[in-house]
Structure 1
Amino acid sequence: MDSSKVEVAYEFPPHLRIYKDGRVKRLTVPEFVPASISIDTQSKDISIQKETGLSARLYVPKTISKDRKLPLLIYFHGGGFFAESAFSPAYHHYLNSVVAEANVVAVSVEYRLAPEYPLPIAYHDSWEAVQWVASHSKGEGHELWLKDYADFDRLFLAGDSAGANIVHNMVLRAGEEELTNGVKILGSILVHPYFWGKDQIGYEGSGMLKKEMIDKIWFIACPSTTGLDDPHINPVGKEAPSLSKLGCNRVLVFVAGKDLLRDRGVLYCETLQKSGWEGVVEIIETEGEDHVFHLLNPTCDKAKSFMNSLVSFMNKYKQ
């Protein structure tokens, strides 16, 4: 018998293999796409914190002026907390499209990944990134693109899957702690959010194999967790703080009809509406599609409709 097979504890093809002795083997290395100048946008990579390696990719429209400040988007990529990158082809091309379509300044955060860097490290990195961005709001800081072109009164946080989970946790924290220079988050955008819980709801019981995988991902990503009702993964559970103090004015949640995570996104919106929070929450469902379909097939009609809704949400408030 091959002893290496006996030692395997978990495997998440094509990304990761974890052995019982704690060793981690990455089966694939994320492809790196360099920052670039495209027809409509330009981008560059920056270091936020040298000690930890925290970094980001900044995007601005190719045609831009200091005289007209643009909405500012901080984006957190998905990947179950253990895969993908702000520098991967899927996210680089997606952020290029968002920046071009919405005419915004974007910061795509490269947080550290589990299991080598288990949660809450990704949350800490993400908070540091948000605070770093906010530190430029009064003309301070070293990044000219933020100081010259970003409208800090129109700050949005967005992410998909695990990235949407990060968005919720950042906005919840922003309701408790002040951002640098008193910057406020105008809106949050949660795309197919990775929320979960111990007790099944909706159609979760119809996909038991996928449910088991989602369970395992959380425990691998956050070995110090209290369980599947940990407030970080179940924001509406008994252990979770009230959503009434969410630190933004507007929330947009996207769900997909075939996504096993769909019902959690719906429940999040319903709970937020009943919490006493004074903001406005919207939910948009894409029927007949699965998790992060817009990244897998960005040119399909439903992905274009998704993009239109995203753009509209960020441009409702004009300078």
Structure 2
Amino acid sequence: MASNTAPDDNEVAHDYGLVRVYKSGRVERPLVAPPAAAGLDPATGVESKDVQLGDYSARLYLPPAASTATDKFPVIVYVHGGGFVAESVASPNGHRFLNSLTAACPALAVSVEYRLAPEHPLPAAYEDCVAALTWVLSAADPWVAEHGDLGRVFVAGDSAGANACHHLVIQPGAVRLKGAVLIHPWFWGSEAVGEETRNPAWRAMGGRLWEFACPGSSGVDDARMNPMAPGAPGLETLACERVMVCVAEGDFLRWRGRAYAEAVAAARGGEGQGVELLETEGVGHVFHLFKPDCDKAKEMFDRIVAFVNAP
């Protein structure tokens, strides 16, 4: 006999901090701040707008210099973090960062509003990011067509967004870009690198959120989570001229990001082959989003601006 009792809407089935799923199917994202609207940013003069593109959307940022500039701007396709389960283009800290970055470079930025797990498990987010990059390169939007230099396109992102940026430049048939900026990239693997913990239980915990967001994966040695895993595509095939990797001393992902930068450099023939590693001491994961005015965040910010503007 079928039961008439509805599932308990207060009984938690999964809780990963960033996302909480109840047995009824209800999903909460308890750490997400109220969204920041697109529009004119008084602090920087940057104008932003949201564009709906089917399953996903994008928030575009135009620097104030666009009103008088005769030359076109580099284009930064940005992918936000959040473990592929949380955050958005409207997250206040990320929105503020992109306003500042757009004005400082100056550049035209396109932030991708990709679909989130668990409602849309991976590879949905990857597919949206690929589609967004393709859309940008088509210059279908008037801001991109009028102000974007499609010979100077960068991908950039933090945490899970940095992971997605790797996917964008390693995917088969990827269009060669000017550069990639990976801020505190979310990579992991079954075998420890550097000074990562060797404790099996802690290593397993490091992969729990990935396996939740990507239930069809082969685990933490899936090439999308571990670019250095056996059988992963060769890093020499990265479709970008230059790569910048930022890591933070207090981030448990630090050693993984450092190993990635070293592996990319080795695949390109050694140091000085278009790979830049920035290690910031005394701070944690994506610290720049929470403390943008601290000296170390300003140093990292200036290094990213210099990377985008380098010949």
The partner residue of 1:275 within 263, 267, 279 is 267
Question: C-alpha offsets along residues 230-284 of structure 1, whole Å, 9 cap, x if unaligned?
Answer: 0000000113111111101100000001110000111111111222469511100
Contact 1:243 1:277 in 2 (8 A): no
Who is 2:173 aligned against? Answer: 177
- Say if 2:194 and 2:259, in contact at 8 Å, map to a contact too: no
Which secondary structure does the structure 2 equivalent of 1:311 belong to?
A: helix
Q: Secondary structure at the match of 1:154?
A: strand
Q: Does 1:10 align with 2:4?
A: no
| Cα-to-partner distance string for 1:177-231 (whole Å, 9 max, x where unaligned) | 154xxxx311000000000001122332188887554311101110000111000
Mapped contact 2:153–2:177 kept (Cα < 8 A): yes
Q: Matched residues, percent identical?
A: 42
The residue correspondences of 1:19-30 to structure 2 (distance < 5 A) are: 19=22, 23-28=25-30, 30=33
Q: Say whether the 8 Å CA contact 2:174–2:239 is kept in structure 1.
A: no
Contact 1:155 1:186 in 2 (8 A): yes
Query: Bigger CA drift: 211-220 or 87-96?
Result: 211-220
1:58 Cα deviation (Å)? Answer: 0.4
* CA–CA separation in structure 1 for the residues paired with 2:262 and 2:174: 26
| Amino acid paired to 1:107 | V
What is the distance in 1 between the residues matched to 2:189 and 2:48? 38
Give the aligned partner of residue 200 of structure 1.
Answer: 192
Instruction: Choose which of 215, 221, 228 in structure 2 pairs with 1:223.
Output: 215
Residue of structure 2 equivalent to 1:163: 161
Contact 1:8 1:18 in 2 (8 A): yes
Deviation of residue 102 (structure 1)?
Answer: 1.2
**Aligned 8 A contact 1:192 1:292 in 2:** yes
CA distance in 1, matches of 2:206, 2:239: 28
Distance 1:30 1:128, change over 3 A: farther
d(CA) in 2 for partners of 1:266 and 1:27?
30
Q: Distance between the aligned counterparts of 1:205 and 1:4, measured in 2?
A: 38
Amino acid at match of 1:25: V
Which secondary structure state, in structure 1, belongs to the residue aligned with residue 182 of structure 2?
strand
Matched, 1:253 2:245: yes
Q: 1:106 to 1:118 in 2, by over 3 A?
A: same
Find the residue that maps to 1:282 and give its secondary structure: strand
Aligned with 2:103 (options 100, 108, 113): 100
Distance 1:103 1:109, change over 3 A: same
TM-score (norm 1): 0.88
CA distance in 1, matches of 2:202, 2:70: 50
2:29 and 2:86 in contact (8 A); partners too:
no
Partner of 2:289: 295
Q: In the superposition, relative to structure 1, how do residues 226 and 63 fare at CA in structure 2: closer, same or farther (>3 Å)?
A: same
- 1:158–1:164 CA contact under 8 A, matched in 2: yes
Segments of 5+ residues of structure 1 without an aligned counterpart are: none
Post-superposition offset of 1:172: 0.5
Secondary structure (helix, strand or coil) at the match of 1:63 reads: helix
Whether the 8 Å contact between 2:61 and 2:102 is mirrored in structure 1 is: yes
The partner residue of 2:50 within 45, 48, 57 is 45
Q: Which moved more, 1:282-291 or 1:194-203?
A: 194-203
Structure 2 contact 168–174 (Cα < 8 Å) conserved: no
Q: 2:198 and 2:177 mapped to 1: Cα distance?
A: 37
Count how many residue pairs are aligned between Structure 1 and Structure 2: 299
2:72 to 64, 69, 74: 69
| Equivalent residue letter for 1:93 | R
Q: Residue by residue, what CA displacement relative to the aligned partner does 1:52-100 show, whole Å, maximum 9, x if unpaired?
A: 2x10110011231462111110000000100111111111111001111
**CA–CA distance in 2 between the matches of 1:61 and 1:106?**
9
Q: Distance in 2 between matches of 1:27 and 1:46?
A: 24
Q: Is the 8 A contact 1:207 1:260 kept in 2?
A: no
Name stretches of at least 5 consecutive residues in structure 2 with no aligned partner.
1-6
* C-alpha distance 210-93 of structure 1, shift in aligned 2 (>3 A): farther
User: Counterparts of 2:217 and 2:227 in 1: how far apart (Å)?
Assistant: 14
